[in-house]
Amino acid sequence: MEPRYRRILLKLSGEVLAGQKGYGIDPQVVENLARQIQEVTQLGVQVGVVVGGGNIWRGQVGSQQGMDRATADYMGMLATVINALALQDALEKLGVETRVQTAVEMRQVAEPFIRRRAIRHLEKGRVVIFGAGIGSPYFTTDTTAALRAAEIEAEIMFKGTSADGVYDDDPRQNPEARRFSHITYLDVLQQGLKVLDSTAVSLCMENKIPILVFQLLEPGNIRRAVMGEPIGTLITVD
């Protein structure tokens, strides 16, 4: 059976990398993710990854505590690079060729983000991990993921979370919360659902990039998503 998607953009939240610890990087979680990514690359799927940094530093929280917002956001960008390097290390230990590209130049540890080079890496079967957001403050890594998905011409954007999809309310607080199997971009925006920020949803809507939200750490879920199995919540134009 052939994969449904040939080029994907996978958005990983920093919090997921922390595992049960809630802070920092859990090596077992990173290894789990690397094995899932390896599994889909072996199917011939081209994989781009955007990682968050919330397990180390969250710029918005820093600014709420009195720090200059731009400075706090730049610190968050550096946190995403730490996560990107950790994921790269885990992938390469499995024999998966990987490149980290950053929007803030740091040539000793990563390539600068160059769209054409990123696409060429993907075509050669390398996993490309995008760090440091878009290189500017005030933008989330969700927005970065939507932008990079458009730039590399990904067929779909995967958002891996700790939840198994998009709900009409917080399932941790409301046991009656209903999970959507499918929802439109406009419904996400109009209902104020907090699965992604509105800029990211709008970018995907304008570029007709479907978004699939699913539970990331369930073994084999990235493969199931790539094969088009009905997991999580699919967000599309209609």
So what's the pLDDT on residue 20? Answer: 85
d(CA 12, CA 130): 11
Q: Strands, DSSP E only, in the chain?
A: 7-12, 46-51, 98-102, 111-112, 127-131, 156-161, 166-167, 179-180, 182-184, 211-215, 233-236
pLDDT in tens, 4-40: 999 999 999 898 999 888 889 999 999 999 999 999 9
Residue among 132, 90, 93 at smallest CA distance from 109: 132
Q: Strands, DSSP E only, in 29-164?
A: 46-51, 98-102, 111-112, 127-131, 156-161
43 has pLDDT over 80: yes
So what's the pLDDT on residue 7? Answer: 98
CA separation (Å) from 60 to 31, 87, 118? 28, 24, 29
d(CA 19, CA 1): 32
So what's the pLDDT on residue 108? Answer: 95
pLDDT in tens, 60-73: 777 788 899 999 99
Residue 157: which pLDDT band, with cuts at 50, 70 and 90? very high
217 has pLDDT over 90: no
d(CA 215, CA 23): 19
Output the six-digit token pair for 219: 């073994």
pLDDT in tens, 95-122: 999 999 999 999 999 999 999 999 999 9
Instruction: Determine what percent of the chain is predicted with pLDDT higher than 90.
Output: 82
So what's the pLDDT on residue 162? Answer: 83
So what's the pLDDT on residue 171? Answer: 83
So what's the pLDDT on residue 77? Answer: 95
In sequence order, the 6+-apart residues with CB closer than 8 A to the CB of 192 are none
What are the φ and ψ backbone dihedral angles of 233, each rounded to 5 degrees? -125, 125
Domains and CATH numbers, the chain: 7-236 (3.40.1160.10)
> Mean pLDDT across the chain, nearest whole number?
94
Over residues 132-138, the mean pLDDT reads 96
Classified as helix, coil or strand, 11 is: strand
d(CA 114, CA 95): 24
Q: How far is CA 94 from the centre of its chain?
A: 20
So what's the pLDDT on residue 58? Answer: 78
Q: How far is CA 1 from the centre of its chain?
A: 26
So what's the pLDDT on residue 175? Answer: 85
89 has pLDDT over 90: yes
Q: Residue 63's CB: how many other CB atoms inside 10 A?
A: 18
